[in-house]
Amino acid sequence: MESKKQAAEKAVEAIKDGMVVGLGTGTTAYWAIQKIAERITEGLRIQAVATSLETEKLAKDLGIPLVPFSAIETIDLTIDGADEVDKNKNLLKGGGGALLREKIVAYHSKQYFIVVDERKRVDQLGRFPLPLEILPFAMELTLAKLRRFGEATIREKGGSLYVTDNGNFIADLHFFPINDPQALDAQLHQIPGVLETGLFSHALVTNVIVGTKNGEVLVL
């Protein structure tokens, strides 16, 4: 956890006065948000948008000024985490269930900083199940198509189906190794009912900031 905190704080150093900042979701983003709030008390002036209701609540509680997406045209810098990062900076995300909103924010960001600890670096994506946000309508048919790729299950939480902030479900697909993330992403998008995948192209990523157990922070 300390390595995540150090890496997140390193990413926050890139935030400047006047920026519109995207706030990610998850444990790594939590530390970035804490540091942003600290910098605001020291005089930093920014506006922010959130990738989830959980993040929105945390930002409000910490006094970070949020704006609606209708009030902005672009996002200067977004800081988020990832479940896996390969050697080419492709990402697997969605463990926290916010992948659709996270990808929208990433796509509209001028800079996209990914913060991880060293355990999240992998040679090939896929040991962590690939999350997909799917429409509840006819989800059994969607799942049947997904199972042509590998084992696929609907995520549950507390004994009930996990529901995203958008009112959809998460399917977790076991597919390893993911040798060509872009090709797999395109194939999965061909299935009606799949709204978004947890595969994020390296083309979206500006920097990967890695916290290590020895206290060193790497910027890739």
From 9, 56, 84, 102, active-site residue:
102
Domains of the chain, residue spans: 2-123+201-219, 130-197
Residue position matching structure tokens 């355990």: 119
CA distance 22 to 91: 17
What is the per-residue pLDDT for 1? Answer: 76
Which pLDDT tens digits describe the chain residue by residue (220 residues)? 789 999 999 999 999 999 999 999 999 999 999 999 999 999 999 999 999 999 999 999 999 999 999 999 999 999 999 999 999 999 999 999 999 999 999 999 999 999 999 999 999 999 999 999 999 999 999 999 999 999 999 999 999 999 999 999 999 999 999 999 999 999 999 999 999 999 999 999 999 999 999 989 999 9
For residues 118 and 78, what is the distance between their CA atoms, to the nearest angstrom?
A: 20
CATH 3.40.50.1360 for the 2-123+201-219 domain, yes or no: yes
8 Å CB contact between 46 and 18: yes
Q: What residue has token string 């992998």?
A: 122
Q: What pTM was estimated for this model as a whole?
A: 0.95
Its CATH architecture, for the domain 130-197, is: 2-Layer Sandwich (3.30)
Q: Tell me, what amino acid is at 85? A: V
Of the candidates 202, 181, 30, 203, the one whose C-alpha atom is nearest the C-alpha of residue 115 is: 30
196 has catalytic annotation: no
Provide the token pair at 142. Answer: 């969607």
